[in-house]
Amino acid sequence: QVQLEQSGAEVKKPGASVKVSCKASGYTFTSYYIHWVRQAPGQGLEWMAILNPTHDSTTYAQRLQGRISVTTDTSTGTVYMELSSLKSEDTAVYYCARGTGSPDYWGQGTLVTVSS
Amino acid sequence: DIQMTQSPPSLSASVGDRVTITCRASQGITHYLAWFQQKPGKAPKSLIYAASSLQSGLPSKFSGSGSGTDFTLTISSLQPEDFATYYCQQYDSYPYTFGQGTKLEIK
C-alpha cells in the first residue's frame, strides 16, 4: 500500500533552518511527483513546492523562493524539504503528498514550531 | 497567482441532508480542480480530482462538477463522519492554490 512516512516534530529558533523528510513506499517512486503543503495553526492549506523525482526538478511558491529547497534521494525513495531563515510565521504542520496532478496520498504531517 | 474562493465559509447541516459547496477560480482552469476533506488533527484526504473524478475506493455520495471557473462539491446523505472541513485546489498552474476551506458542522 502507498505510504508516505514523515520525520518527527521539530522545535527551532528564529533564523534557524529545518529539514523535514518524507519516505515513500508501496509504489514506483519515480512515477509520481511529490508536493509539499503546510498548514499554520487554525489556518488553511498553503501549497509550497513540487518535485519531479524523475528529473530532480522543482517548482517553488514565489513567496518562499530563496528560503526553500526540496531534494530527493532516489535510492531510498526519500524527499527532503529544507526551509531556512525561519520566522514565527513558519510555525505549521508540514505535509508531503504524492501526485503528478493533484495530490492523492498524504503523509501524516510534521509539526515545526519556531520559537525563541 | 490564481485565487480560489470557496463558499460558504461554514455550513450547518443535519445527518441525512445533502449539501453543496462552491469553489470559484479567478481565471479559467479547465478541469484541473481537486477537492479534499480534512478532520481536526489529521492530514487532508483526497476526494475528487479533475473536477468530477472520484478517488478510488470512495463512496459515490461525494460528487464534483464544473469546469472553467465555477465548481461544486456535493455530499449526499450526510453521515456523522462527513462533518469536517473541505478544501478545493486548482492545479492548472503554479502555485497550486487552495480555497480557504468550508467547515461543515452538525446542526
DSSP state of A49: E
For residue A81, list its beta bridge partners: A20, A70
Do A106 and B45 lie within an 8 Å CB cutoff? yes
Q: How far apart are CA A53 and CA A78, in angstroms?
A: 10
pLDDT for residue A105 is more than 90:
yes
Q: How far apart are CA B91 and CA B98, in angstroms?
A: 9
Q: What is the DSSP string of chain B?
A: ---EEEE-SEEEE-TT--EEEEEEESS--TT-EEEEEE-TTS--EEEEETTTEEPTT--TTEEEEEETTEEEEEE-S--GGG-SEEEEEE-SSSS--B---EEEEE-
Do A47 and B87 lie within an 8 Å CB cutoff? no
List average pLDDT for each run of 10 residues in chain B, which is 107 residues long: 97 97 98 98 98 95 98 97 97 97 95
Q: Which residue of A has its CA nearest to B86?
A: A44
- Cell numbers representing residue A4 in the block: 508516505
Q: Which residue of A has its CA nearest to B101?
A: A44
Neighbours of A41 (CB within 10 A): 9
Do B43 and A109 lie within an 8 Å CB cutoff? yes
Do A61 and B101 lie within an 8 Å CB cutoff? no
Instruction: Determine the distance in angstroms separating the CA of A37 from the nearest CA of chain B, rounded to an integer.
Output: 10
Do B43 and A108 lie within an 8 Å CB cutoff? yes
A115 — pLDDT class (breaks 50, 70, 90): very high
H or E stretch at A114: strand A110-114
Do B98 and A106 lie within an 8 Å CB cutoff? no
Note the pLDDT tens digit of each residue in A47-76: 999 999 999 899 999 999 999 999 999 999
- Cell numbers representing residue A98 in the block: 504524492
Residues of chain B neighbouring A97 (CB-CB closer than 8 A): 44
- Cell numbers representing residue B59 in the block: 463512496
Q: Is the dihedral of CA A42, A33, B54, B7 positive or negative?
A: positive
Residues of chain A neighbouring B97 (CB-CB closer than 8 A): 47
Q: According to the model, what pLDDT value does residue A100 have?
A: 85
Angle at B57 between CA B54 and CA B60, to 5 degrees: 50
Residues of chain B neighbouring A62 (CB-CB closer than 8 A): 1, 95
Note the pLDDT tens digit of each residue in A6-53: 999 999 999 999 999 999 999 999 999 999 999 999 999 999 999 999
Q: How far apart are CA B83 and CA B21, in angstroms?
A: 13
Q: Are B85 and A24 in contact (CB under 8 A)?
A: no
User: Torsion angle, CA of A108/B55/B70/B2, rounded to 10 degrees?
Assistant: 40
Nearest to B63 by CA among B79, B44, B80, B49: B49
Q: According to the model, what pLDDT value does residue A57 have?
A: 94
